[in-house]
């Protein structure tokens, strides 16, 4: 019997290779993990930084279709695990019937989520503050990364993660999510009422500035009209960097336990 595949989807400003510790752990636990690149992303952090225009101007639907095509080529439906906008894409894919299960970690806000805390606005202002940014590749400064991702880390760890994993990114998804509740056909819309989808786990960071805990709590409430399994785990003292910082294994272990509870542990 083939090992259960796992497909990791990163969010904005991190490279796909940032999932490598998770890939190693999941492979050791008997899964078959992969972390595909986003459209336009290069194989390495350095090469992606050297070609920023290649990642620009991709929207939520284009990125979702990109990963759907990868899943369709798999022999077995994967577990889909996404962080930040990768979490939103995970929710879209699960809602569309892809995957055996989904895990959305600090997922970007989907249509219907109403809370908009000040710290979330502050985190996204470097992008949303200039409408012309929608077409550009944007890279975070160290200061912006520290506030949006690494606010719970030491300055040294924040700098190490920034230097190691960050890349320029398309920011069109941020504009699409920000205007989702004002758009009838928003690309940030998710089928939260699907009764036939796989189980979904939402994970929140209690000190996350980019996707505050209240945002993920509001996301959970949107699934109340579906009888499909939807659960939430909150790491109270963690920020948006929880998948790449020194405590990543705690999060990954909770995911592995939950997958075992869903009968998806190999």
* pLDDT tens digits, one per residue of 148-207: 999 999 999 999 999 999 999 999 999 999 888 888 899 999 999 999 999 999 999 999
Nearest to 174 by CA among 8, 12, 10, 9: 12
* pLDDT tens digits, one per residue of 201-234: 999 999 999 999 999 999 999 999 899 999 999 9
- Which residues are CB-contacts of 253 (< 8 A; sequence separation ≥ 6)? none
How many CA atoms does the CB half-sphere of 129 hold within 13 Å?
7
Please, are residues 262 and 101 in contact by the beta-carbon 8 Å criterion? yes
Nearest to 87 by CA among 72, 73, 105, 69: 105
Q: What are phi and psi of 5, to 5 degrees?
A: -70, 150
pLDDT: which is higher, 39 or 116: 39
152 is written with which tokens?
A: 């719970």
Grade residue 130 by pLDDT with cuts at 50, 70 and 90: confident
User: What is the reported pTM?
Assistant: 0.96
Please, are residues 258 and 265 in contact by the beta-carbon 8 Å criterion? no
92 is written with which tokens?
A: 């879209």
Q: How far is CA 74 from CA 23, 27, 105, 152, 228, in A?
A: 17, 17, 23, 37, 24
Q: What confidence score (pLDDT) does residue 184 get? A: 84
Q: What confidence score (pLDDT) does residue 228 get? A: 96
161 is written with which tokens?
A: 């993660």
pLDDT: which is higher, 161 or 2: 161
70 is written with which tokens?
A: 């990868």
Q: How far is CA 124 from CA 127, 135, 142, 147, 175, in A?
A: 6, 16, 14, 10, 9
């Amino acid at each position: 019997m083939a090992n259960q595949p796992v497909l990791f989807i990163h969010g904005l400003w991190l490279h796909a290779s940032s999932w490598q510790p998770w890939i190693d752990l999941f492979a050791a636990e008997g899964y078959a993990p992969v972390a595909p690149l986003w459209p336009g992303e290069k194989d390495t952090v350095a090469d992606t930084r050297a070609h920023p225009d290649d990642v620009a101007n991709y929207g939520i639907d284009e990125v979702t279709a990109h990963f759907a095509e990868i899943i369709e080529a798999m022999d077995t439906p994967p577990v889909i695990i996404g962080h930040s906008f990768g979490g939103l894409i995970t929710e879209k894919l699960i809602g569309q019937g892809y995957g055996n299960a989904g895990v959305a970690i600090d997922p970007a806000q989907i249509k219907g989520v109403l809370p908009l805390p000040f710290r979330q606005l502050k985190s996204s202002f470097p992008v949303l503050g200039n409408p012309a940014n929608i077409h550009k590749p944007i890279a975070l400064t160290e200061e912006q990364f520290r506030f949006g991702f690494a606010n719970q880390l030491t300055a040294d760890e924040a700098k190490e993660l920034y230097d190691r994993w960050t890349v320029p990114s398309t920011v069109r998804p941020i504009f699409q999510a920000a205007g989702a509740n004002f758009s009838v056909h928003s690309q940030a819309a998710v089928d939260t009422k699907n009764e036939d989808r796989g189980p979904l786990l939402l994970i929140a960071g209690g000190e996350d500035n980019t996707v505050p805990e209240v945002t993920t709590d509001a996301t959970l409430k949107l699934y109340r009209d579906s009888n499909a399994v939807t659960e939430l785990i909150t790491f109270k003292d963690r920020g948006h960097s929880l998948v790449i910082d020194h405590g990543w294994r705690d999060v990954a272990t909770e995911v592995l336990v939950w997958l075992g509870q869903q009968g998806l542990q190999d």
